[in-house]
A and B are shown apart, each in its own frame.
Chain A
Amino acid sequence: MSFAAEEITEELPPPGRSALGQLLRDPMGMTGAILVITFIILAIFAPLLAPYDPIHIDVRHKFQPPNLAHWAGTDQLGRDMLSRLIWGARVALGISMTATGIAGVLGLLLGLVAGFGPRWLDAVLVLFFDSFSSLPMIMFALAVITVLGPGIPTLILVIVLVSVPGYGRLIRAQTLALKGADYIQAERTIGASSARIILRHLLPNVVGPLVILLSMDIPVVIMLEAGLSYLNLGVGPPTPSWGNILYDGYTSLRSAPYMVIAAGIPLVLCTLGFTFLGEGLRDALDPKLKLRAAR
């Protein structure tokens, strides 16, 4: 939310045919793609892949270290850690993709309005974008949670609100840059409507950078979800989230250290995977950076 927006300010070409090949040839992008696909599969097929019911309590078998029956051990209530971690992927990806998706669409709309609409509306929206991004993200999130109470809908709302300004700014900058382009001026001279210019020319050109920014923001959002759930202000028990599993592990850090270790691994691999993929995508789609790397 904070930095990716600063990095992508250049106008990017639409995804070329070789972009995918480019991405797969880059070892970092390839690693990212494999990790992300793995987690998406885990999230979609969690009910089939998880060996146990993630919320089934079995107190007689609590705090079992990793063994053949429970590969990642069991937690303080005897629930199977591996199953909880697999379901945690569904929670993490579900929340982060829904929220960034909504934020992306809203940012696109507001950015287009700001860039294409009347001057005064642009000024109001820019002030709104600036004010929102001036709030330290975590402070804003905690304020909203205090008002609305913790839970998944609040979490999604918080993520949408803190993400929209960044996307809106990006789209606005892109729109302003394109608006002055010769071919758009020409189109307007011929008498094309604003709707046609937006749909035929602006939209295809601004979506690419937005997708890169979204993919780079997903790890940040996953971290935020896990962090807030760790603080017991996000996804509440018994729903498994990597964050609240880490918290369970923290409370029994001395007696059952394997819990924290096991819960940290998917979180780290997932954020790493999305970051690598985002980097790979940017390198593949942005010839300016490629040029720099080749120098």
Chain B
Amino acid sequence: MLGYAIKRIALALLILVVVMLGMFAMVFVIPGDPASIALGPRATPELKALLIQRMGLDQPLLSQIWHFFRAAATGDLGIDVWSKRPVLDVILEVFPQTLLLGVVSLGWAVVLGIALGCLAVIWRDTFIDRLLGVLSVSMISVPSFVIALYSLLIFAVWLGWLPAIGAGQKGDWASQARALILPSFAIGVTWIGYIARLVRASMLEVMGANHIRTARAFGLPETVVVLKYALRIAIVPTIAIVAIGAGSILSSAVFVETVFSRPGIGTLITGAVEKRNYPVVMGTVLFMTAFYLVVVTAADLLIARLDPRVRDVLRG
């Protein structure tokens, strides 16, 4: 297990280095130099020279790469061109909001998804099973920002039940919770579909196993067999897909946060892209990639711990 863990973490670090090199290379494919882009039309030769010096663009290439990696390793992601604050501070300020949104969305999606998946298995090959199947596929394929817009229109504009924008008042838990309902609904719907399907499929695979047959032979009711014996094993692939899905949740969050004008990584980076605020965009991309790699690696290790067979498969 330890050997596998070391290998897996080393791979994640290697990928992070490749990604960073790729991002560094992107600075050189920009039409025009990054300093003029960051400054935009306001650029005067003096300002440009100052910025080029500050960004280290006048240094030799290898030393630039070295500085970039050393700075990133110590958490220095550069300075926000507009607010003049460290990029890491700007990111850390809004990151908890996105994390909260993602966790809440996934949380209720996992609960509902597993429940629907179990229902489909209990009533398998009936009309309900087929209905749940179509429903899951439909939930997967509807874009989250359309759900966000429709739910915003219905529940905030027409019915006026829930707030339309923002993340609620600071310190007021009730208003923050109310502001979470619609965005987490919009992000979660897709995941109910995914998880329901996955739970159903992996459970049906488990249903033929020996220990299930034994449980049936002992005369246990079908509900007990499904919930107590099949679900335990079927839950493993769900962890995997939830971890891989961290990236896709982030995508939904970017769009949904914009629809609800919610502070977070999504509104931060889209605003930065519009203003061509280069350090913030690159810093956020790097931060989120690192975060994503941590999540995926942790999930892989967790799965390997739960199911030793996986260790051998992933080793290849």
Query: Which A residues form the contact surface with B (CB < 8 A)?
Result: 2-3, 6, 28, 127-128, 130-131, 134-140, 142-148, 219, 223, 226-227, 230-233, 246, 249-250, 253-254, 257, 260-261, 264, 267-268, 271-272, 274-276, 279, 292, 295
Contacts and interface: CB of A to CB of B under 8 A. Distances in A.
Contacts of B245: 2-3
Nearest to B124: A295
B72 to A, nearest CB: 15
Contact of A145 (B125, B134, B153, B273): B273
B233 interface: no
The A contact surface, by secondary structure, is helix
Interface string B268-294: 011011101010011011001100110
Interface in B4-23: 11-12, 14-16, 18-19, 22-23
B270 A233 contact: yes
A65 to B, nearest CB: 15
A127 B270 contact: no
A250 B156 CA distance: 13
B236 to A, nearest CB: 14
Nearest to B259: A250
A3 B244 contact: yes
Interface string B225-257: 000000000000000010011111011001100
Contacts of A257: 153, 157-158
A148 B26 CA distance: 10
A135 B142 CA distance: 23
A28 B134 contact: yes
A226 B15 contact: no
B284 A230 contact: no
Interface residues of B, number: 62
B256 to A, nearest CB: 10
A275 B139 CA distance: 11
B204 A295 contact: yes
Nearest to B138: A272
A268 to B, nearest CB: 5
A146 B208 CA distance: 52
Contacts of B284: 139
Which of the listed residues A127, A139, A272 has the most CB atoms from chain B within 10 Å of its own CB? Answer: A139
Contact of B241 (A6, A131, A223, A295): A6
Given A131-B19, A147-B26, A272-B138, A292 B204 contact: yes
B57 to A, nearest CB: 15
A137 B153 contact: no
Interface stretch (B63-71, B144-152, B167-175, B300-308): B144-152
Contacts of B145: 226-227, 230, 246
B52 interface: no
Given A138-B250, A142-B270, A261-B150, 15 more contacts: A2-B245, A128-B18, A134-B289, A134-B293, A135-B289, A136-B251, A138-B254, A140-B285, A142-B254, A148-B31, A226-B143, A253-B152, A253-B153, A268-B142, A295-B208
A28 to B, nearest CB: 6
Contact of A3 (B125, B194, B272, B289): B194
Contacts of A292: 201, 204-205
B132 interface: no
